[in-house]
């Protein structure tokens, strides 16, 4: 006869507790869950418990206090610690051991993570990845739950200041003052928006004084090589154009596309913009190649299309490729790293069904707008 083992999960994060309980339940364990140390002690006093799984950072009685109390009441009860902070976990274990040798099994990988943090803390000897002591992962998750989508307010301030400021400057008497250098007002206002957003975030969230700089380094370390990839790829577009890649594509397109087929030429142009953007990771790098190959010689000069519509919407077709490629690191790889997604291509997979219909719309807009409505 199989004896069912009883597991008690002590975790104040309800979503995490449900996940752990579900996994253990599927493996045949009888699982109960409570949200704090006091409730755990009450449950243990009235129910059989063969294993305790507890978080360290909880409201009320924290995991460290719970471990010490269990040591006094239930010497043989096995315990597994769950914690986002290896340092806190080390302190908890040492405190329990001083009380007489509690048998504690650490969560997998915690000791290795602690050693890695110590290695990073050496600092002077190399360029190790930073791990600034601003907030723990658990604290950031709790903070996000409290603030919710309002955390995006500082980020939205940046484009709002840039767009609204540019419109006010160009369409009001402010433009006559000459405060900003001509054709640089949007870039300058973008920088001003960043400073305003930073000030709002600091005043609202009240982080430690050095937190912006420390977190900035942490994010840059998370991004890694992808931080400079957009600049490198943009330069690659200029190299391709100077190497005559556009002329080669022009000759190939002329041989394949039937003469007089405007719609097919538009499709090839937009498809080329998307594909080259996926290869080079940057629509600005793809545009000079496809403009020299198809946009100018065929669509503008050959069929008399409106160059403004072809150029503007052609860039949007390239941006559809941006949504579909890991080479566009600042759009896809960087968000995956910052969000700590398990799937590096998770962002791309979510964007596929936006990119495809958007690309089709761009083809229609160029064909109708550049040739049927405003064509030469």
Token pair belonging to 278: 């996926």
Q: Among the three residues 121, 153, 170, which one is the final residue of a domain in this structure?
A: 121
Residues 166 and 265 in one domain: no
pLDDT one digit per residue (tens) for the chain, 376 residues: 567 788 999 988 887 888 888 888 877 888 999 988 888 888 888 888 888 888 887 777 777 788 888 877 756 788 887 765 444 444 444 444 444 344 444 443 444 444 444 444 433 333 344 555 566 667 677 777 888 888 889 999 999 999 999 888 888 888 888 888 887 888 899 999 999 999 998 898 888 777 778 777 777 776 666 667 666 766 776 777 778 777 788 788 778 888 889 999 999 999 999 998 898 877 888 888 898 889 999 999 999 999 999 999 999 999 999 999 887 766 777 777 667 677 888 889 999 999 999 999 999 999 999 999 987 6
- Is 166 part of any domain? yes
129 domain-assigned: no
Do 110 and 161 fall within a single domain?
no
Question: Could you tell me if 205 and 279 lie in one domain?
Answer: no
Does 246 fall in a domain? Answer: yes
Among 63, 96, 121, identify where a domain stops: 121
Dihedral of the alpha carbons of 336, 341, 345, 346, in degrees to the nearest 10: -100
Same domain for 271 and 217, yes or no, is no
Residues 185 and 94 in one domain: no
Who's near 150: CB < 8 A, 6+ residues apart?
none
How many domains, in total, are found in the chain? 3
The first and second tokens of residue 69, run together, are 């109390």
Question: Residue 126 falls within a domain, yes or no?
Answer: no
| Position 211 in a domain | yes
Inter-residue long-range contacts of 288-291, CB under 8 Å, 24+ positions, other chains counted: 288/237, 288/238, 288/240, 288/241, 288/246, 289/237, 289/240, 289/241, 289/245, 289/246, 289/249, 290/246, 290/249, 290/314, 290/318, 291/246
Residues 250 and 367 both lie in one domain: yes
Question: Domain boundary at 171, 201, 222, which?
Answer: 222
Same domain for 146 and 260, yes or no, is: no
Q: Which residues contact 246 (CB under 8 A, 6 or more apart)?
A: 240, 288, 289, 290, 291, 292, 293
Closest CA to 157 of 204, 184, 190: 190
Residue 1 lies in a domain: no
Quote the domain boundaries for residue 18. 6-121
- Residue 128 maps to a domain: no
Q: Are strands 30-34 and 6-10 parallel, antiparallel or unpaired?
A: parallel
**At 67, which CATH number?**
3.40.50.2300
């Amino acid at each position: 006869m199989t004896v069912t083992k009883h597991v008690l999960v002590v975790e104040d994060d309800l979503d995490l507790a449900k996940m752990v309980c579900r996994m253990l339940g599927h493996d045949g364990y009888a699982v109960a869950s409570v949200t704090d140390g006091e409730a755990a002690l009450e449950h243990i006093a009235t129910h059989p418990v063969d294993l305790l799984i507890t978080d360290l950072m909880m409201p009320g009685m924290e995991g460290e206090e719970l471990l010490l109390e269990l040591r006094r009441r239930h010497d043989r009860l096995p315990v597994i610690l769950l914690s986002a902070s290896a340092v806190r976990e080390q302190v908890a274990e040492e405190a329990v051991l001083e009380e007489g040798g509690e048998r504690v099994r650490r969560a997998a990988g915690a000791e290795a993570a602690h050693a890695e943090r110590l290695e990073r803390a050496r600092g002077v000897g190399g360029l190790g990845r930073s791990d600034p002591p601003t907030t723990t992962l658990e604290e950031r998750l709790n903070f996000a739950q409290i603030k919710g989508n309002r955390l995006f307010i500082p980020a939205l301030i940046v484009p709002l200041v840039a767009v609204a400021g540019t419109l006010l400057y160009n369409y009001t008497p402010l433009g006559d003052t000459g405060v900003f250098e001509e054709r640089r007002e949007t870039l300058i206002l973008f920088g001003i928006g960043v400073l305003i957003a930073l000030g709002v975030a600091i005043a609202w969230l009240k982080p430690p004084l050095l937190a912006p700089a420390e977190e900035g380094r942490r994010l840059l370390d998370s991004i890694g090589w992808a931080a400079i990839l957009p600049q490198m790829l943009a330069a690659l577009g200029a190299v391709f154009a100077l190497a005559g890649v556009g002329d080669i594509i022009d000759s190939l397109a002329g041989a394949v596309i039937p003469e007089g087929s405007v719609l097919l030429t538009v499709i090839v142009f937009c498809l080329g913009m998307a594909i080259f953007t996926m290869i080079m990771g940057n629509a600005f790098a793809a545009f000079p190649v496809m403009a020299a190959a198809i946009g100018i010689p065929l669509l503008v000069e050959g069929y008399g299309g409106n160059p403004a519509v072809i150029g503007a919407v052609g860039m949007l077709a390239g941006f559809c490729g941006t949504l579909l490629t890991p080479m566009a690191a600042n759009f896809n790889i960087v968000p995956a790293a910052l969000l700590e997604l398990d799937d590096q291509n998770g962002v791309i997979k979510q964007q596929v069904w936006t990119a495809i219909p958007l690309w089709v719309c761009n083809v229609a807009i160029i064909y109708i707008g550049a040739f049927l409505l405003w064509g030469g």
